Amino acid sequence: MNVRPLAISSAILLAGAFASGAIGQAQNSSSGANSRPERSIEESAKIFLQEKAKAQASQRAKLEQAGINFGQYRSLVARLNNISRKESRGLAADTEAAIDAALVEDIALELATLGFGPQDLRPGAGATALINAASKKIRLQADYDDYKLLSDLVVSGTVLGYRLPDAGSAGRAFMEMRIDKVYKGQAETESTVLVELQSGVTSGGEKLQYSGEFLPAPQTQIVALLSDIPRAIRSDDGRLSRPNVGTSYTKMVEPLTIKGSVLKSFRNAMPDVAVGNL
């Protein structure tokens, strides 16, 4: 069954705003005659959208630092606008438009972060499924099939170790992994893949480790859902620098730890998966 993602997402997006308004009203009604005027759903939605705009600006800044092509990103947003179904929610026209724009921006940011562009949203069922998967991931409702659809490469393998940037250089670290089996994508077994991490090294040489990042010990066997990083590692002047020719550079979409015959999402982002269902 095809789910219309943006209509569903609008309900999720507004749920926080409505709840905020309801909480505010309950507090106001219990505080007596000197309480603030009750906050309307319209006002709550606008406050929520202001916070959403700040979060999205931060995500865009991270994409800019990663070297995203914003011309392609704007085309991605335009394609999503053409595909998405607008829904009336009984709010003012400007609020309705802002909600629609926020929903599109959320999905565009998610897809762009995973390396998708406007060419991936051609009309048809494929585009709809991709948008649905991104929408469900944002709402923490995605399952293994959704994550697999959002990934370029799904492999099982062994963690070999970690690589930091060259001495004196700033940048992110990489987890090195040997591929044992390929479930999706093009890769050779026994080849090595480098997975970009959030952790890294500052220009001052300080090592940074992000709290909660998946950093298994060497020789740990995992299943990794990965997206390709076509820009690989950038040198200071922006030119591509590939110090290891033939090595694939990727970004983690979701890591799965192996517990007997069951795979568990490291971040509890999806239900458990049986190894036989990969």
DSSP for 9-49, please give it: HHHHHHHHHHHHHHHHHHHHHHS-TTSPPPPPHHHHHHHHH
- Give CA–CA dist 248/226, Å, rounded: 11
- Give CA–CA dist 51/16, Å, rounded: 11
**pLDDT value of position 37:** 63
Tell me the per-residue pLDDT of 131-171, one tens digit each, with 9 for 90 and over. 999 999 998 999 999 999 999 899 999 999 888 776 656 67
**pLDDT value of position 15:** 43
Q: Do the Cβ atoms of 90 and 80 come closer than 8 Å?
A: no
- Per DSSP, the three-state class of 162 is strand
Q: Is the full-model pTM beyond 0.95?
A: no
In the 8-state DSSP scheme, what is residue 86? P
Kindly report the length of the chain.
278
- Give CA–CA dist 124/120, Å, rounded: 11
**pLDDT value of position 198:** 78
- DSSP strand E in the chain: where? 153-163, 171-184, 192-201, 207-208, 221-228, 233-234, 240-241, 248-259, 262-265, 273-274
Q: Where in the chain is the domain with CATH 2.40.50?
A: 149-277
Helices and strands in the chain: count of H runs, count of E runs? 6, 10
Residue 273, φ and ψ in degrees, nearest 5:
-125, 135
- Using alpha carbons, select from 243, 254, 213 the residue that is nearest to residue 114: 254
Helix or strand (DSSP H, E) at 103: helix 93-113
**pLDDT value of position 178:** 93
Query: Within its chain, how far is the Cα of 171 from the centroid?
Result: 20
Q: Which two tokens stand for residue 269?
A: 């982002």
Q: Which residues of the chain have pLDDT under 70?
A: 1-37, 124-125, 166-170, 201-205, 229-249
Question: Could you tell me which CATH class the domain 149-277 is placed in?
Answer: mainly beta
- Using alpha carbons, select from 243, 225, 226 the residue that is nearest to residue 234: 243
- Give CA–CA dist 6/253, Å, rounded: 22
**pLDDT value of position 104:** 93
Q: Do the Cβ atoms of 250 and 227 come closer than 8 Å?
A: yes
